[in-house]
Amino acid sequence: MSAKIKTDTRIILIGAGNVATQLGLALYNAGYKISQVYSKTKSSSSALAKKLKAESITDLKKLNDDASIYIIAIKDDAIAEIAKQLKLKDQIVVHTSGSVSVDVLKRISENYGVFYPLQTFTKDKKVNFKAVPLCIEGNNKSTSTTLQYFAKSISSNVKVINSEQRKVIHLAAVFACNFSNHMYAIAEDLLKENKLSLDLLKPLIEETALKIKDHSPAKVQTGPAIRGDKKVMEGHLKMLKGEEKKIYKIISEHIKP
């Protein structure tokens, strides 16, 4: 396949969740033709297909065999099972997972790879895809070159990353994004229990995030644990119970200098 992908290239999306929705919209808005959207859930497939002016299908046997790129954008644990059901010629097939090896796709086609958007997505929140880092991997030079060209048509931040590096990135992202968001949820619960709003913390959360644009997170750590304020921490622990108390102790111990 040529390294240059035209915008009339046919693309098939396998999946209709958060990643599939935002990636599909980015490709559609860039002028690409999404010919089919597959999901085992008819309502999900139909909803996304309608936005992308594509055909909605719920049976992999109805997958067209004339697309140039097949994008598997489903939960990580389901990729291997889907891969067992697909067989292509030399078309490119990719998955969008941060933690699954590229080799899971090797039985599908001669050309396969990874197209991993390093961002948190929700279906209904608009994303500036130009700013989303896209981590690319191809099983051969030609596929890698094609995927890089393809990625650069929707993002200004494209990196060639191998499977082992991508696993590390994904692990780091879980700490930086998923765990941090869970901390926000705990904070919101604590506030709600006392009839207070998370809005009070939003400027603090924003400022904390902005600091790491110019500084190492370790250099700008604040709070009672880094200062060694034992009385403050003891007071906090008395206010907590159950899992929240355990989390507070573990994180505080890890922060201590």
pLDDT in tens, 63-112: 999 899 999 999 999 999 999 999 998 999 999 999 999 999 999 999 99
Q: Burial-class residue 89 by CB neighbours within 10 Å (0-12, 13-18, 19+).
A: exposed
pLDDT score at 211: 94
Are 146 and 172 in a shared domain?
Answer: no
Mean pLDDT score, 12-24: 97
Residue 143, in any domain of the structure: yes
Q: Which of 217, 219, 209, 203 is nearest to 181 (CA)?
A: 209
Domain region containing 202: 167-255
Res. 2 pLDDT band, cuts 50 70 90:
very low
What is the overall mean pLDDT for the chain?
94
Q: In terms of domains, do 42 and 84 share one? A: yes
Reference 57, options 39, 73, 75, 81; nearest CA is 39
How far apart (Å, rounded) are the C-alpha atoms in residues 163 and 161?
A: 7
Same domain flag for 154 and 27: yes
Q: How far apart are CA 37 and CA 83, in angstroms?
A: 16
Q: What is the CATH number of the domain that holds 75?
A: 3.40.50.720
Q: Is residue 4 part of a domain?
A: no
Domain of 228, CATH number, reads 1.10.1040.20
In a shared domain, residues 136 and 115? yes
Q: Is the pLDDT of residue 4 over 80?
A: no
Does 178 lie in the same domain as 233?
A: yes
Do residues 218 and 122 both lie within one domain?
A: no
* Sequence-separated contacts (24+) of 121-124 with Cβ below 8 Å: 121/18, 121/19, 121/21, 121/22, 122/18, 123/17, 123/18, 123/21, 123/22
**Full-model pTM:** 0.87
